[in-house]
Amino acid sequence: MLIKIPRKSDCTSAQVTPEHLYLSRRHMLSGALAGLAVAAMPRLGAAAEASRYADAEPGKAPGWFSDKLGATRWQAVTAQGEAITPFKDATHYNNFYEFGPDKGDPAANASSLSTEPWSVVVDGEVGKPGRYALEDFVKPYQLEERIYRLRCVEAWSMVIPWLGFPLAEVLKQVEPTSKARYVRFETLQDPKSMPGQRSGFALIDWPYVEGLRLDEAMNPLAILAVGMYGRELANQNGAPLRLVVPWKYGFKSIKSIVRISLVAEQPATTWQGLAPDEYGFYANVNPTVDHPRWTQARERRLPSGLFSPNVRETQMFNGYADEVASLYSGLDLRKNY
Ligand code: MTE
């Protein structure tokens, strides 16, 4: 997103997962409402369910994560739908500018990030502010698997099985005051472990900041993720805690969160601040509103390469219109992109 001209490297075959790996992963999206169907799922053994993602490299999960995995509500998968993106693509084709501007930089550099111990501050317009050790922050919530499309503003997309819990549950717990209208999120700032924050070339004014309107944040589709593919988050995907808002462009899904603030005014966010004509606060996936430099009508679904670009039509709100369109009734989505 920092580069003014789309890079050839964004679509070379070198980054494409071999077809046999792609075809071996036939786990499917059960539809736009898939994420909401999890409540009906039986609790299954964590080991049995994690083995669904045989291509996922085992992680080094902290104890609290392994404990919670046993009670996870796994999502139903059906034979109709969209293939889950291979783990290799989801963990080696990333945007995480704290670790460099190229798609391979986060996987190459993010091992320098230490995620234990980790604490999260909740503050601002809340009745119950606090600083929590991550394991205490996560403790009250049951993990759920949510298989969501991820659509980047750069016009590539993936399908990812996240493990997390509804953001709404956290917000209810901290008791927003009547003044709270937005939620502001902040990523760790630690130039020692994040080379992108040390770089003289980075245009970003660190830390990375994102925000949602409070009613958007309360929508059941919005989750805080601690895992993916039946294991903990890889560092390059935003360990140990990231936001996932599947109806918005990927840049809204802020990684490695250390602060969640309830605020009265719309927060200044990273990409909107950098290029307000290109990246709006709402950033809802919208095939009818093009980016000034490229179309948003179509997307490249990974794995994608020169001879098999795997291009598909982009859906309004990334296919989640039934769940979220009512949040924007009366709002001009051309102006509020
Ligand atoms: N969060 C932080 N802190 N820094 C980033 O550079 N990139 C965003 C988002 N969250 C980013 C971030 C962008 S542009 C995208 S598309 C998604 O993360 C990519 O998530 P993924 O690498 O897990 O696919």
Can you tell me the mean pLDDT for 235-245?
98
152 lines ligand 1 (CB under 6 A): yes
Q: Check if the beta carbon of residue 249 is closer than 8 Å to that of residue 151.
A: yes
* pLDDT tens profile 169-212: 999 999 999 999 999 999 999 999 999 999 988 899 999 999 99
- The residue nearest atom 23 of ligand 1, judged by CA position, is 237
**Least trusted range by pLDDT, from 50-59, 103-112, 207-216, 242-251:** 50-59
Domain presence at residue 25: yes
Distance from residue 98's CA to the centre of ligand 1 (Å):
10
99: domain CATH number is 3.90.420.10
286 lines ligand 1 (CB under 6 A): no
| Angle subtended at Cα 1 by Cα 271 and Cα 85, rounded to the nearest 5 degrees | 110
Beta strands of the chain (E only): which ranges? 119-124, 130-133, 144-151, 156-166, 182-187, 209-213, 223-228, 231-232, 242-244, 257-263, 298-301, 311-313
Q: What are phi and psi of 10, to 5 degrees?
A: -70, -20
Closest ligand 1 atom to 93 CA: 22
187 lines ligand 1 (CB under 6 A): yes
Instruction: Provide the percentage of residues in the chain whose pLDDT is more than 90.
Output: 82
Closest ligand 1 atom to 187 CA: 3
Give pLDDT, residue 106. 98
Cα(29)–Cα(48) distance, rounded to whole angstroms? 19
Domain presence at residue 335: no
pLDDT confidence bin for 76, thresholds 50/70/90: confident
Domain presence at residue 2: no
Question: Domain of 243?
Answer: 10-328
Can you tell me the mean pLDDT for 242-252?
98
Distance from residue 313's CA to the centre of ligand 1 (Å):
22
Q: What are phi and psi of 162, to 5 degrees?
A: -90, 160
**Pairing state between β 144-151 and 156-166:** antiparallel
Cα(114)–Cα(240) distance, rounded to whole angstroms? 9
Domain presence at residue 334: no
Domain presence at residue 255: yes
pLDDT at residue 11 tops 90: no
Distance from residue 68's CA to the centre of ligand 1 (Å):
25
194 lines ligand 1 (CB under 6 A): no
* pLDDT tens profile 268-302: 999 999 999 999 999 999 999 999 999 999 999 99
251 lines ligand 1 (CB under 6 A): yes
Domain presence at residue 1: no
253 lines ligand 1 (CB under 6 A): yes
**What is the distance between the terminal CA atoms of the chain, rounded to a whole angstrom?**
16
Domain presence at residue 164: yes
Q: Looking at the 3D structure of the chain, how many domains does it have?
A: 1
87 lines ligand 1 (CB under 6 A): no
Which ranges in 60-122 belong to alpha helices (H)? 63-69, 87-92, 105-109
Task: Report the predicted TM-score, pTM, of the whole model to 2 decimal places.
Answer: 0.88
Domain presence at residue 216: yes
Q: What are phi and psi of 326, to 5 degrees?
A: -65, -20
* pLDDT tens profile 119-150: 999 999 999 999 999 999 999 999 999 999 99
- The residue nearest atom 14 of ligand 1, judged by CA position, is 251
Cα(335)–Cα(337) distance, rounded to whole angstroms? 6
Sequential DSSP letters for 168-187:
HHHHHHH-B-TT--EEEEEE
Distance from residue 243's CA to the centre of ligand 1 (Å):
10
Ligand 1, from 96, 224, 241: best to mutate by most atoms within 8 Å of Cβ? Answer: 96
